[in-house]
A = this chain, B = another copy of it.
């Protein structure tokens, strides 16, 4: 789907809900790649979409916009003193909104900023959250073009998985920084925009944490016990996310058991997604469809049966964001079905202060037939 089709789809939603203008915003304080989804501009801008389907982009960097953005009109953000509310007021005039016109401001708007929008948009009807919810649902289902990009990104990710394994075995990767910087370099050499997030490389002394802090250090990696390497690449805007675990033997029972449980959980979840094992009714939505929450509860119950606790969700959608819908989490408020076209991670993990941590994570494409596994992470025994 091209930008025009996406905008038209959004326009139809606006029409059905009587919305006259949708505002999307991306900035340092709150990132939102929906702007990229609708016009190609990667960051630091506001995108205004009118009821007629026309788009107005106000980028911080007009030179970047001239090269990346497909919008009907581009006006530098500095014209509005970098003030999102002022830009919005001007955009309402640009689109000729009449009194009472309905404006959907960004969902990530803070309460304090919301009060300013309401004040400065006096006479208009200010709404918040509806467009964002619609767009997130749309973005959760990838189209053919997006799936092709994600598959290319997965191939690059797999090459890096194999190269990191080789580097650790041949001794060229000795430290956390060696591993992380290797990934940064390889991803760019492969034409990626970079790593999709700060690589988490936690050597044997630090793998107890879910997200190691700092993400990586000059300290040793794959040195003893369990080491975790959580990384991804961003290719044409789209993110992968995988986790490898390196196990330096001989392993005592604690870490060995952790690995076995995590691997079993991963296999069982894939079997569940593939309907190779019966899905208990309590994980199904009314339509008989597995919910994203149900998949997570399934994994939680598995670990509970073994008297262990996973302190994070089972997985999350990947796309223009590295964390997006669907959220495979037992703590998710709303139940949402897993639908064909969704791409998400499956990443069971267990952590202990004594035994360190083990996580095994791959990206899958959900289809009518189940889970197509896109990446091929490894648990590497040393």
Contact = CB atoms under 8 A, between A and B. Distances in A.
Contact of A217 (B177, B188, B331): B188
Number of chain copies forming the complex? 2
A214 interface: yes
Interface in A104-148: 107-114, 128-129
A82 B208 contact: no
Contact of A112 (B60, B81, B129): B129
Interface residues of A, number: 55
A332 to B, nearest CB: 9
Contact of A214 (B44, B78, B107, B194): B194
A62 to B, nearest CB: 8
A42 B111 contact: no
A351 interface: yes
A87 B131 CA distance: 28
Contact of A351 (B63, B82, B188, B208): B63
A57 interface: no
A64 B211 CA distance: 9
B177 A331 contact: no
A226 to B, nearest CB: 14
Given A188-B177, A311-B76, A311-B78, A29 B108 contact: yes
A277 to B, nearest CB: 27
A110 B107 contact: yes
Contacts of A311: 60-62, 76, 78
Contacts of A155: none
A12 interface: no
B214 A61 contact: no
Q: Which of A60, A112, A208, A216 has the most CB of B within 10 A?
A: A112
Contacts of A180: 184
A83 B128 contact: no
A340 interface: no
B193 A214 contact: yes
Nearest to A78: B311
A185 interface: yes
B30 A81 contact: no
A170 interface: no
A189 interface: yes
A240 to B, nearest CB: 16
A70 B353 CA distance: 19
Interface in A208-252: 208-211, 213-218, 234
A279 interface: no
B108 A110 contact: yes
B42 A208 contact: no
Contacts of A159: none
Contacts of A113: 111
Interface in A303-322: 311
Interface of A: 28-30, 42-44, 60-64, 66, 68, 76, 78, 81-83, 107-114, 128-129, 177, 180-181, 184-185, 188-189, 191, 193-194, 198, 208-211, 213-218, 234, 311, 323, 331, 351, 353
19 contacts: A28-B323, A29-B108, A44-B211, A60-B210, A60-B311, A61-B209, A61-B210, A61-B213, A78-B311, A78-B331, A110-B111, A111-B111, A111-B113, A177-B185, A181-B185, A185-B218, A188-B217, A194-B216, A214-B234
Given A42-B213, A181-B181, 14 more contacts: A29-B30, A44-B211, A61-B209, A62-B311, A107-B110, A109-B110, A111-B113, A111-B114, A177-B185, A180-B184, A181-B185, A188-B216, A189-B218, A193-B217
